[in-house]
């Protein structure tokens, strides 16, 4: 069982701010630091001086004395995804695909204090920037062209599981969670009726620019926990939703992305359904951290209004 002391947060911004210091302790820096120490002990590594990079779906730490990144998942519910992530990284390496690499000669994932933990070789590069959007398109085109692995079975891409899990554990107001759940179920039914134009392929499942790093001029894809076998349109619709709804891309940037990949998913009649799914995915990701700050809570509220109204609102703030 993972370490968790959760506090109920009422559904208003004042209360969220007041509870920011006491909110969910399930994934606080203190908790994740203890998990890091336990995992490193099991792996024979030294966690002294490790730096926390960020906390989102996972908590990420960089070790001080070795070029290693440690990823801590939120609970053992994510164990199968962590196992898949390790298998995918090994498969991509064998296929000479430019992807993140797990630390070799370790049995991974590692269970530490009720959390799956994976260890990755540090990528000596920089985070991708907006001008690298065509590099993301090339990485996706290359990924989608790969034959599925022969030594393990890629799971069918599932866009629902993480969202449902987040809604079950979030401290957000019940009326927001119930609305998102009902809407998400409607969209799930609509997805099942879609006729997709592209052939099924390995898909990344979380294909945004922050999951790309650049070494010199060479892009590297990271974060494989959502990788599965499914419709490439899901990966393409991620950037398209960031363009249409979040407004994180300029017209010419998105046009370059679509042109480089060779298909503009926004021209497909089913895009609107995938767009709404991605909006909920992006919002429930943020929802996990609403107790951290007023800024996150306010952005969650703004996104909820946009989703409820299905009208363009203010530009979404990235976190």
- Half-sphere exposure at residue 59, Cβ-oriented, CA atoms within 13 angstroms: 23
Q: Catalogue the E-assigned strands of the chain.
A: 51-55, 58-62, 68-73, 110-112, 115-121, 126-127, 201-203, 212-215, 218-221, 228-230
What is the C-alpha separation between 94 and 96, in angstroms, rounded?
A: 5
pLDDT class of 16 with cuts at 50, 70, 90: very low
pLDDT class of 93 with cuts at 50, 70, 90: very high
User: Which tokens is 124 given?
Assistant: 């000596």
Tell me the average pLDDT across 15-25: 35
Residues 201-251: tens digit of each pLDDT: 999 999 999 999 999 989 999 999 999 999 999 999 999 999 999 999 999
What is the C-alpha separation between 108 and 100, in angstroms, rounded?
A: 15
Q: Which domains does the chain have, with CATH numbers?
A: 13-309 (3.90.1200.10)
19 has a pLDDT exceeding 60: no
pLDDT of residue 11: 38
Task: Report pTM.
Answer: 0.87
Residues 126-158: tens digit of each pLDDT: 999 999 999 999 999 999 999 999 999 999 999
Give which of 190, 183, 274 is closest to 234, Cα–Cα.
Answer: 274
Bigger pLDDT: 14 or 307? 307
What is the C-alpha separation between 227 and 319, in angstroms, rounded?
A: 22
User: Which tokens is 80 given?
Assistant: 């199968």
Distances (CA, A) of 288 to 19, 28, 263, 306: 14, 12, 33, 18
Give which of 293, 61, 307 is closest to 179, Cα–Cα.
Answer: 307
């Amino acid at each position: 069982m993972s370490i968790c002391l959760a506090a109920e947060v009422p559904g208003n911004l004042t209360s969220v701010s007041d509870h920011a210091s006491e909110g969910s302790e399930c994934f606080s820096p203190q908790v994740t630091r203890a998990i890091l120490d336990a995992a490193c002990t099991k792996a024979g590594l030294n966690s002294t001086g490790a730096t926390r990079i960020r906390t989102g779906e996972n908590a990420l730490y960089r070790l001080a004395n070795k070029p290693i990144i440690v990823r801590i998942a939120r609970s053992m519910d994510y164990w199968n995804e962590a196992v898949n992530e390790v298998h995918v990284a090994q498969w991509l390496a064998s296929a000479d695909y430019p992807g993140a690499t797990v630390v070799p000669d370790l049995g991974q994932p590692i269970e530490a204090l009720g959390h799956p933990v994976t260890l990755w070789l540090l990528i000596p590069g920089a985070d991708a920037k907006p001008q690298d959007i065509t590099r993301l398109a090339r990485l996706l085109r290359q990924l989608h062209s790969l034959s599925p692995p022969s030594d393990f079975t890629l799971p069918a891409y599932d866009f629902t599981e993480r969202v449902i899990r987040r809604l079950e554990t979030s401290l957000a107001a019940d009326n927001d969670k119930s609305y998102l759940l009902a809407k998400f179920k409607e969209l799930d039914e609509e997805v099942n009726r879609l006729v997709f134009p592209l052939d099924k392929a390995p898909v990344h499942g979380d294909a945004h620019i922050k999951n790309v790093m650049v070494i010199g001029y060479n892009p590297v894809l990271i974060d494989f926990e959502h990788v599965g076998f499914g419709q490439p349109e899901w990966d393409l619709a991620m950037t398209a939703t960031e363009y249409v709804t979040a407004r994180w891309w300029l017209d010419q940037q998105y046009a370059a992305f679509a042109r480089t990949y060779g298909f503009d998913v926004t021209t497909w009649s089913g895009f609107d359904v995938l767009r709404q799914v991605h909006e909920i995915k992006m919002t429930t990701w943020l929802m996990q951290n609403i107790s951290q700050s007023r800024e996150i809570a306010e952005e969650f509220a703004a996104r909820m209004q946009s989703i409820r109204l299905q009208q363009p609102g203010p530009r979404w703030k990235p976190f």
